[in-house]
Chain A
């Protein structure tokens, strides 16, 4: 896996030894299995993460109590080569309700051989989230904010 991160984007690519159709299908249909669970914005454990496979679809987590947290909107669904969705999560890992402050995630699938696919992920326009330090300065006040933030970070890096 290689990652190539620039000022306002994160880019990662990976090679998987499966055909392109299969790679696309696993990514979109099994999103629940591949998305790390650590970043949970629901008050309860996540039962399932859902990627709705169509333009205009939602990307959301469903809690064990049935509550839902939508954190993305599908902008493009083009099997088996491309998906594009918004990232409506602020730098403090809270839902961003202002769509102008969302970044976006594009995933491209490129067939390298019959059973070999390159998957390129780009999370871009991070600058649209605005100045992260504004949130940081708020979070810094009070240990509760910090403890949560650091706990989330520690969980994400395990």
Chain B
């Protein structure tokens, strides 16, 4: 799942906001949200696979925080932006070349 699909869900956005403010354990998140602990774990798994959060073990708990690299979404956007620009450029340049 990419970052943007991961963030389409309001609960996941809230979870990301909470761990962006400070690192938290699964149970802490479950305590603050109207969802069960297994549901929080599932959301965290998706956020992690999208590169939006990272986790570390602390004793028996896992602590989650927002990914400090934090550039995955920006890169994906820019990659699309420039790919589109270059595709438009190629089309226009070659069209005009044919007409000359």
Contact = CB atoms under 8 A, between A and B. Distances in A.
A140 B81 contact: no
Interface residues of A, number: 42
B71 interface: yes
Interface string B7-34: 1100001101100110000000000000
Nearest to B74: A91
A10 B88 contact: no
Contact of B69 (A7, A16, A30): A7
B57 interface: no
Given A27-B89, A34-B92, A119-B86, A133 B70 contact: yes
Nearest to B96: A26
A131 B70 contact: yes
A87 to B, nearest CB: 8
Contacts, number: 115
B1 interface: no
A123 B92 contact: no
Nearest to B15: A140
Given A34-B92, A150-B4, A153-B4, A140 B16 contact: yes
A150 B5 CA distance: 10
Given A1-B86, A30-B92, 6 more contacts: A18-B93, A35-B88, A131-B68, A133-B68, A140-B16, A156-B81
19 contacts: A5-B75, A16-B94, A22-B97, A26-B93, A27-B89, A33-B92, A34-B88, A34-B89, A36-B81, A36-B85, A91-B73, A121-B85, A123-B82, A133-B20, A136-B20, A137-B20, A140-B16, A146-B13, A157-B80
**Which 10 A-B residue pairings sit nearest by Cβ, starting from the closest?**
A137-B20, A140-B17, A34-B88, A133-B70, A132-B70, A26-B93, A34-B89, A18-B97, A14-B86, A91-B74
Interface of B: 4, 7-8, 13-14, 16-17, 20-21, 66-71, 73-75, 77-90, 92-94, 96-97
